[in-house]
Structure 1
């Protein structure tokens, strides 16, 4: 098998070699493509501003999202941490005018963005 220029996922353990150097013994070699998922073309982006980024507000946001379970991925951008997070599929949303209105009321008009590829 040709390995040059390819990326693989290794599962194994470390070992101390005969010369005292650290070795990695691969028990299993996998192609990482088997772990990837193709996301739907529509995604909901939510921006949490620094002033709203508190544990209580995040909990309220998650509860609101969970109230509308669906098949649209939700990506939350937290300004405070400069971090974007794709929520797990159990927190994907069924996006409609009602949930859009609630999210905009909570996060702000410019913090709710629906993107279609």
Structure 2
């Protein structure tokens, strides 16, 4: 709730829009992950759904963290500040357990195979 131009930063329309977009992206990513998990629990083939969920969630994590850094201003880059660590973690998520490029290959193969 740092102030900028005489009011709390969250009260500025541009920041409010960022927060709304961030929350929407997080909820969509969460729903996609839950959907893939339900399919897996039901022992249904879910390579495409799991890859789509991981791809979208990892991209959204980086986007959300990038916007959070922008909102926090200079504090977003300070080593040890939570937002900076979240961004690094989001980048690792795009690499760990199958890069985003690998996820795209898996998705396209599943689509072309009719799954």
The answer, yes or no, to whether TM exceeds 0.5 is: no
Question: Could you tell me the TM-score, scaled by structure 2's length?
Answer: 0.27
The structure with the larger Rg is 1
Question: Could you tell me the TM-score, scaled by structure 1's length?
Answer: 0.27
The structure whose residues are more often helix, as a share, is: 2
